[in-house]
Chain A
Amino acid sequence: MKAFTYATAHSTASARELVADNGAYLAGGNDLLNLLKEYLVSANILVNIKSLPGLDKIERGEKFWMIGSLVTVAQIEDDQDIKKVFPSLHAAASEVASQQIRNVATVGGNLAQHSRCWYFRQRDTVCLKKNGDLCYARNGENRYHSLFTGNTCISPVVSSLATTFAALDATAIVLRDGKETRLSMAELYHRAWENPLAHNSLENGDLILRVEIPTARTASAYLQISDKHAFDWALVSCAAAAEIENGKLKSPRVALGSISPVPHQVEAANSFLDGKVLDEATATQAADMILKDAKPLEHNAYKVPLAHALIRRTLLKLKGDA
């Protein structure tokens, strides 16, 4: 890593001032330190935000829960109430990386993490995201890449918490220029859909404060498949959430991760599922709709049947099991 200065912020205003134009917020540090070690990002100051007051709480409410951005993924995994109220969130959190990483990784950091595309992460390839003029993955090694994208970069969002929050219709509250801004998951990643240089919609100095999760969708589920059985990025992840009323889905949402720069949702599929009884046939139709416009590349076409299977299974899991 290049040398940097370091300071601990005790207020969001100080944090913003300290980070200025060339600094970086330091929470858990897993992603930031790796990026610095590879010289993929440069920061002349690291601003420790772990002492910012009030951001490390899980607040239980009747209509909404608030999860502070400094809450660690391990805390989410261990929280028995989250397991009951938001089972998909528990499931996603427990599969994030490894215990050692979960112990320090924060919700905010997980949402803000940079692309895992191996061309981006490769210190010597100057790809689109690094201001180069080529997406190496498009005609290269693209087995882990997107089936959907709005621009020439095919790096997908990999935050499994983002996928899960998307299905739960959660909102990220982001402090931007001193004002709280509400961003849905779609909005949080929209810039990455449009702009190859972007990893998400956060601007310099933005600070995720908390995530607000409505409690209405009492049934939720999350599944992912990786090459390995643990400590491996998902090839595809799927989260679903809905209310179940008289055996029928109400306000269902299905989101996929690792196949698009944004958590992938198809409104038409959500609408189709609304009011339906959940069974194999409905789930299959929904999966077809969600994947209809997939544009598989030479090495990632397997993600289509894989995603299809995950969608069906995740939806059927909403019916409730052990």
Chain B
Amino acid sequence: MSSWPTETKYISHSTARIDAPAKLTGKARYASDIQAEGWLYGMILRSKWPAAKILSVNLDKARQLPGIKAAVVAREGEFNVRYYGEEIAAVAGTSKQACLDALRAIDVKAEVRHEFVVNETDARKSDSPQVWDGTPNAPATPHVRENGSVDTAFPECAAVIEGFYTTPVQIHNPMETMGNTVSWTDEGVTAWASTQGIASVRDGLAGALQVDHSQVRVITEYMGGGFGAKFGAGAEGVLAAKLSKAAKAPVRLMLTRFDQALAVGNRPSSFQKIKMGALADGTLHAFEAENYGTAGIGGGADAGGGGGGADIPMPYLYKVPNTRVKQSAVAINAGSARAFRAPGNPPASFGMESAMDDLAVKLGLDPLEFRLKNDPNPIRQREYKMGAEKFGWKNKYQKPGSSPGIVKTGIGCAGAAWPAGGGSKSTQGEAQINPDGSIEIRLGVQDIGTGTRTVIAVVAAEILGLKPEQITVRVGDTNFPPGPGSGGSTTCPSVSPTVFDVCQNALQQLQAQSGLADARGENWFAACKKLGVNPLVVHGKWQEGLSSSRAAGVQFAEVEVDTETGLVTVKKILGVHDCGLIINKVTLESQINGGIIMGMGYALYEERVMDDLSGVVLNPNFETYKMPGIADVPDIEIILVNMPERGVIGIGEPATVPTAGAIANAVANAIGARVSSLPITPAKVLAALGKVPPPVNA
């Protein structure tokens, strides 16, 4: 069986991101930059009603406007829309301006339904308007998992806490919106997609357009972030294709920032009622929880790429002998959820880790000690201890609210577990080695900003004894051997073993053809020269034994809370993370920074807000859907636990899981009161401190 070399020149060291120059000079072309010959601008008309029966969509006037080359409906005949922002029609024209005018010339006749619901708590009531006719918004009985005997266990506990921990719907909001440039001709379909899964786009387009897979090519050289939402062709991809066919020209259809908040996925909310008890010695003994959350009109099939459901793992990291967990999803008239960076885990970590701290406080225990007493995972145990030492936990820890002064400091911690990793076994790759020694590796994976291209170059350089800059890496084309979708933190463990295999095969064949016993390193050029005129093309695929799954991870947070204004300032975050064998340290660190910052946004700023009365999204923008900026980002320190014996695992998701829990616990520690609802805004801090007067009846 294969194994990674133990002495390495590049693996586990730092190689600069190889596509940095292209991105830094503006040369990199994203789906939104493609200017195919004769290209047209595309735009979607969306429902301004949260619930309606669309009776007719008249495109005649729109089609006649100057510059408009095509207009199509989203669905034929009469159809129902069930959320504000659902697709109704699309147009393609020679300019953005032409399209804007055309959208306003589309005549939509609708039977507007005044019965809709966008609030989870209201939607669960038996008299709530139904999102889907004839179907209750929430199941009559929740899904129940039990073990042991929770009812007899609680009375045995020395301390019991109850809490209601809630998290909002979170919007992915990658910097590049969803979309594609699509050209559909008699020759087939070419889509330059902003996607995390070129194969999923091909699959989606082929199915929707009813063409053979072999006639669909998807290209993603660069894409501006996905975070789980960008899988499948999307309504927008299919519409772009149809417009292209009708207009006989490529169509670039990118969503607007407004669209992003409405219709292309989100992280479900959670409403976690938790009751938890421990014995006198600090052992967790009983756990009862009821959680509901919304995945919009529905997760599952509609969500694309899986992970759209509202269920979360409870009691998350901990093994409690007596548990009862009830979960149900509630439908509301809002866009469907989609997988979002570690689906289910950030809310689960936030709820559980908040409850852990609350119970530790009630028991009079240091929350870190409480975790060490109860966390069954030896890796996390080690990470907590390493982190605590670097963080200075023992010195910094004070009893909740005991920090002096108006601006109080506090610390908190939380843990993560990410089950996936492992690698997609169907990943393949190829290398073309030229007689002049140049080598091109081709893999149908996409680099979504994580540094996948660089990982490929690093592994290849290591195995072949070359420098990473000698490796030309080409990714993001369904014409290349199939690669994994970039999700589940599985990309690095899929791609690395594959490149390993490709390179091993390359060496074997090069050595056989050249007669040189070892074609690596300084022998490379001599060996390649012996190829004569033709290049050598070798194939390879994912190999067993070079990757595995399961990442842990813990984070520590230090915050300052101004108890007069409620403002929370995160001073420092320490992340202690394992991901098996570190392939490229510098890009790995960036991933962890990114996960932490996204988790911080979840903790303090992000929330999709909908209006109960009108059913619209109130913050479909960056103005009031708030994400961390450079002035908000704290000092971030990282301890990387290198575990080469486990092979390559992924990091993208574990890095974002525990941040909100750690920050929430730090806030509670600082002010001596619990804000159990994300995001932790000044308003909520002041309320937790009892400083907010009641509203005045108008």
Residue of A nearest to B685 (CB): A302
Q: How far is the CA of A3 from the CA of B628 in the complex (A)?
A: 36
Q: Interface residues of A, CB < 8 Å — how many?
A: 40
What is the bound-complex CA distance between A302 and B694, given in angstroms? 9
Q: Do the beta carbons of B565 and A306 come within 8 Å of each other?
A: yes
Contact of A302 among B97, B613, B682 (CB under 8 A): B682
Cα separation A300 to B605 with both chains bound (whole Å): 17
Interface residues of A in 206-224 (CB under 8 A from B): none
Q: Answer whether residue A181 sits at the interface, using C-beta atoms and an 8 A cutoff.
A: no
Partner of A227, one of B101, B626, B630, B691: B626
Inter-chain contact A3/B101, CB cutoff 8 Å: yes
Task: Say yes or no: is B692 at the interface (Cβ < 8 Å to chain A).
Answer: yes
Hey, which chain A residues are within 8 Å of B691, CB to CB? 302, 305
Q: Which A residues are CB-close (under 8 A) to B693?
A: 296, 301, 304-305
Report which of A136, A300, A309 forms a contact with B564, defined as CB distance below 8 A.
A309
Contacts A118-B619, A124-B48, A230-B629; A304 near B97 (Cβ below 8 A) = no
Nearest first, the 4 A-B pairs at minimum CB distance are A230-B631, A309-B564, A302-B683, A229-B631
Q: Give the residue of A118, A139, A297, A306 whose beta carbon is less than 8 angstroms from that of B686.
A: A306
- Measured in the bound complex, the distance between the Cα atoms of B622 and A231 in whole Å is 11
- Is residue B28 within 8 Å, beta carbon to beta carbon, of the partner chain? no
Q: Which residues of A contact B (CB under 8 A)?
A: 1-3, 118-119, 122-125, 136, 138-141, 143-144, 225, 227-233, 235, 295-302, 304-306, 308-310, 313
Q: Which residues of chain A are within 8 angstroms of B683 by Cβ–Cβ distance?
A: 143, 235, 299-300, 302
On chain A, the residues within 8 Å of B604 by CB distance are 227
**A296 CB, min distance to chain B CBs, angstroms:** 5
Minimum Cβ distance to chain A for residue B660 (Å)? 15
Q: How far is the CB of B584 from chain A (nearest CB, A)?
A: 32
A296 touches B629 (CB 8 A): no
- B392 interface residue per 8 A CB criterion: no
A235 CA to B684 CA in the complex, in Å?
A: 13
Is the CB of B469 closer than 8 A to any CB of chain A? no
Is the CB of B624 closer than 8 A to any CB of chain A?
Answer: yes
Instruction: Kindly state the separation between the CA atoms of A229 and B629 in the bound complex, as whole angstroms.
Output: 8
- Cα of A310 to Cα of B616 in the assembled complex, Å: 33
Contact of B616 among A122, A138, A230 (CB under 8 A): A122
Cα distance A35–B631 when bound, in Å?
28
Q: Check if B569 sits within 8 Å of A305, measured CB to CB.
A: no
Q: How far is the CB of B228 from chain A (nearest CB, A)?
A: 24
Are A119 and B618 within 8 A (Cβ)?
Answer: yes
CB pair B611–A119 under 8 Å, yes or no, is yes
A309–B100 CA distance with the chains assembled, in angstroms: 46
User: Main secondary structure on chain A at its contact with chain B?
Assistant: loop
- Give complex CA distance A114, B624 in Å: 16
CB-CB under 8 A for A141 and B605, given A118-B618, A301-B695, A302-B687 = no
Among B48, B614, B619, max chain A CB count under 10 A is at: B614
Residues of A within 8 A of B616 (CB): 122, 124-125
- The contact string, 1 if C-beta is below 8 Å from chain A, for chain B 67-102, is 000000000000000001000000000000100110
A235 touching B619, Cβ below 8 Å: no
Neighbouring A residues of B566 by C-beta, 8 Å: 225, 302, 305-306
Cα-based distance from A313 to B564 in the complex (angstroms): 10
Interface membership of B696, Cβ < 8 A: yes
| Chain A residues near B619 (CB-CB < 8 A) | 118
Residues of B within 8 A of A309 (CB): 564-565
Name the B residues within 8 Å of A233 (CB-CB).
Answer: 623
B614 contacts A124, C-beta separation under 8 Å: yes
A232 CB contacts on chain B under 8 angstroms: 626
Chain A residues whose C-beta falls within 8 Å of the C-beta of B630 in the assembled complex:
230
- Residues from chain B with Cβ under 8 Å of A125 in the complex: 611, 614, 616
Tell me the nearest residue of chain A to B100, going by C-beta.
A1
21 A-B pairs with C-beta separation under 8 A: A1-B100, A3-B101, A118-B618, A118-B624, A122-B616, A124-B84, A124-B614, A140-B611, A227-B605, A227-B681, A227-B682, A230-B629, A235-B682, A235-B683, A295-B698, A296-B695, A297-B696, A301-B694, A304-B692, A305-B564, A313-B564
**Distance to closest chain B CB from A224 (angstroms):** 10
CA distance A302 to B616 in the complex (A): 25
Given A3-B97, A228-B629, A229-B632, residue A306 in contact with residue B682 (CB < 8 A): yes
Q: Does B641 contact A (CB under 8 A)?
A: no
Closest A-chain residue to B690, C-beta based?
A305
User: What is the CA–CA distance of A143 and B101 in the complex, to the nearest angstrom?
Assistant: 35
A2 to chain B, nearest CB (A): 8
Q: How far is the CA of A306 from the CA of B609 in the complex (A)?
A: 22
Complex Cα–Cα for A302 and B691 (A): 8
Assembly CA distance A138 to B693 (angstroms): 17
Pair B605/A228 contact, Cβ less than 8 Å: yes
| 8 Å CB interface, B592-619 against A | 604-605, 609, 611-614, 616, 618-619
Known: A230-B629, A309-B565. 7 other contacts (CB 8 A): A125-B611, A136-B614, A229-B569, A232-B626, A306-B682, A308-B564, A310-B565
Chain A residue contacts of B624, Cβ below 8 A: 118, 144
A141 CA / B612 CA spacing, docked (Å): 9
Give chain A residues whose Cβ lies under 8 Å from the Cβ of B84.
Answer: 124
User: Which residues in A have their C-beta under 8 angstroms from that of B611?
Assistant: 119, 122, 125, 136, 140-141
Indicate whether B567 reaches chain A with its CB closer than 8 angstroms.
Answer: yes
Bound form: Cα–Cα A144–B619 in Å:
12
Do B696 and A296 have beta carbons less than 8 Å apart?
Answer: yes
Taking the closest CB of chain A, its distance from the CB of B46, in whole angstroms, is 10
B4 CB to closest chain A CB (Å) equals: 43
Chain B residues near A308: list those with CB within 8 A: 564
Contact assessment for A140 and B613 in the assembled complex, using a CB-CB cutoff below 8 Å: yes
Chain B residues lying within 8 Å of A299, measured Cβ to Cβ, are 683
User: Once the chains are docked, how many angstroms separate the CA of A232 from the CA of B97?
Assistant: 30
* Cα(A306)–Cα(B695), bound, Å: 15
Look across to chain A and name the residue whose beta carbon is closest to the beta carbon of B46: A124
With a cutoff of 8 Å between Cβ atoms, the chain A residues found around residue B97 in the complex are 1, 3
Nearest residue in B to A143 (C-beta to C-beta)? B683
Please give, as numbers and ranges, the residues of chain B lying within 8 Å of A310 by CB-CB distance. 565
Q: Mark B544-569, 1 if CB is under 8 A from A, else 0.
A: 00000000000000000000111101
Out of A122, A297, A306, which one reaches B618, CB within 8 Å?
A122
Residues of B within 8 A of A305 (CB): 564, 566, 686, 691-693
CA distance A136 to B610 in the complex (A): 12
CB contacts (< 8 Å) of A138 on chain B: these are 698
Would you give the shortest CB distance from A314 to chain B, in whole angstroms?
12
Chain A residues, CB < 8 A from B609: 118, 141
Complex-state Cα separation, A250 to B695, whole angstroms: 35
Interface hits, B668-682 → A, CB 8 Å: 679, 681-682
A136 engages B631 (CB within 8 Å): no
Tell me, rounded to whole Å, the shortest Cβ–Cβ distance linking B197 to chain A.
Answer: 32
**Residues of chain A with a CB closer than 8 A to B100's CB:** 1
Q: In whole angstroms, how far apart are the Cα atoms of A278 and B378 in the complex? A: 59
Kindly provide the distance from the CB of A122 to the nearest chain B CB, expressed in whole angstroms. Answer: 6
CA distance A248 to B158 in the complex (A): 59
Report B631 CB to chain A, min CB distance, Å: 4
Bound Cα distance A144, B618 (Å): 12
Across the interface, which residues of A come within 8 angstroms of B698, CB to CB? Answer: 138, 295, 297
The distance in angstroms between the C-alpha atoms of A232 and B611, with both chains bound, is 21
Q: How far is the CA of A172 from the CA of B632 in the complex (A)?
A: 35
Assembled-state Cα–Cα distance A193/B322 (Å): 59
Residue among A1, A138, A144, A305 with the most chain B CB within 10 A?
A305
User: Shortest beta-carbon distance, B11 to chain A, in Å?
Assistant: 39
Residues of B84-133 at the interface with A, using a CB-CB cut-off of 8 Å, are 84, 97, 100-101
Q: How far is the CA of A299 from the CA of B686 in the complex (A)?
A: 12
Q: Which residues of A contact B567 (CB under 8 A)?
A: 225
Across the interface, do B612 and A140 meet the contact criterion of CB distance under 8 Å?
A: yes
Closest residue of chain A to B619 (Cβ to Cβ) is A118
A301-B605 Cα distance, complex, nearest whole Å: 19
A123 → chain B closest CB, angstroms: 8
**When A124-B48, A227-B626, A229-B569 are in contact, do A302 and B618 touch as well, CB less than 8 Å?**
no
Contact of A228 among B631, B687, B692 (CB under 8 A): B631
Give, as a whole number of angstroms, the nearest-CB distance from B110 to chain A: 13
